[in-house]
Amino acid sequence: MKQYAVIDPSTNQTISTYPLASDSDIQDAIDAAQSAYQGFAKQTTVAERAALMTRAADLYLERKDELAQIIAREMGKPIEQSIGEVEFSADILRYYADKGPEFLADEEIDTEGGARAFVRRQGLGVLLGIMPWNFPYYQVARFAGPNLVAGNTIILKHAEQCPESALAIEQIFKDAGFPEGAYVNVFADHDQIGTIIADPRVQGVSLTGSERAGAAIAEQAGRHLKKVVLELGGSDVFLVLDTNDIDSAVDMAVAGRLENSGQACNGSKRIVVLDKYYDEFSEKFIAAMKALKWGPATEDGIDLGPLSSAKAAELLGAQVAQAVEQGAVLNMGSTTADGCFFAPTVLSDVTPDMNAYHEELFGPVAVLYKVASDDEAIALANSSAYGLGSVVICEDTDRAIEVGTRLDVGMVFINGVGLDAPYLPFGGVKRSGFGRELGRFGIEEFLNKKIFAFGE
């Protein structure tokens, strides 16, 4: 990697390039973040930091059109979805501004002898965030929002294809009143990431990305005894077990699969349908996928934009082609990309001996499975190495809860998709990572829960 660059996937044209940070730039970033932690973070109250975060949320909304255009050209997110991401990011920042004082309040501890004891929650220090391209603002908001309010400071390494959004985020925090060093963007390479993690002033690392990246970062962080939060891949199931409205179930499955043009870690990639519904569901699902409108990210009214890059589209095509070669049925769609664009695609008859059964398909490709019982659906769901989220469609909510309880996942959405909210914790198990973001749990990850105990 020689530089950060914006390559518009709608046209596959390079828009701008940015040089890598020098090694001295990296040291300057760590120095600034540590100085801000010792000064600003330690010497301000939660309420004071929350007030700055409220201003940052306001700035996101004031600049939402400009911010949306940036990510439409950086990674191809349809413009209406881009605006929605900016708005959701503002909601997250405001949530932690509003709830931070409550979440970080001293907690009294019951003691046996009656002497007083309490826990005070304080920031740990400098944190490194390594963020992906698929949600350039949202991923940063759910990391930086709670941690800046908590009294940590941030060094942020964004994806190589997101330099403009990375700079825009840094500018927002500066304009909101956070001092120099509280939030520092760095255009770092892989070796420099290792340098940052190894520095004793850095206290933790949060990464959202691939399994491979997560394993590498966890290894480096473990070597230096640093706390880590990892949000990695997913191959989420969408279980149709009991419904009086197949059309609604189909609509939810399409929406769950095609969020962000199918490039969401918690997208509904495996559509698992009870046999009595399967024929009707599959027919209507394929018809709905065929009716989707796709085109350039800046075009209004489209359902899908391009994938993030030609490389991503090429990889997805290779995965689909391999599945077909191994015996899967291509119900609709394609095995090849058109530049960065990939047609909505539906596979079926994928079996455990095929690569596609075990891989994450990151794009507008859905795999349909037919099952005969709840037990079979659960076994299929849990056969994945991933364990991020799930959707359970079931009229009987007690049954849905029972099924969800047996799923090896971090999140269960019942009779709904897109239920993500600032107050709901996000994260998974198994190879989908560990730790949680959002909600109260998100602000708890990088805290010193300091005990104060008094003698009688």
Assess contact for 368 and 348: CB atoms under 8 A. Answer: yes
How many Cα atoms sit within 13 Å of 267 on the Cβ side? Answer: 22
The answer to whether 265 is a known catalytic residue is yes
As a whole number of angstroms, the distance between CA 160 and CA 18 comes to: 9
C-beta of residue 435 within 8 angstroms of C-beta of residue 231: yes
Which residue blocks in 300-386 are alpha helix, DSSP H?
310-325, 355-358, 374-382
- Which of 162, 265, 340, 394 is the catalytic position? 265
Cβ within 8 Å of residue 28, ≥6 positions away: none
Write out the two tokens for 374. Answer: 């709840």
Burial class (CB in 10 A: 0-12, 13-18, 19+), 139: buried
Q: Which of 160, 231, 259, 445 is catalytic?
A: 231
| Beta-bridge partner residues of 115 | none
Q: What are phi and psi of 321, to 5 degrees?
A: -60, -40
Spatial separation of the C-alpha atoms in residues 225 and 159, rounded to whole Å: 25
**For residues 385, 389, 393 and 396, what is the CA-based torsion angle, rounded to 10 degrees?**
100
Q: Between vectors from CA 126 to CA 124 and to CA 128, what angle results, nearest 5°?
A: 115
Tokens (6 digits) for 313: 């589209």
For the question of residue 231 being annotated catalytic, the response is yes
**Which residues belong to the active site?**
231, 265
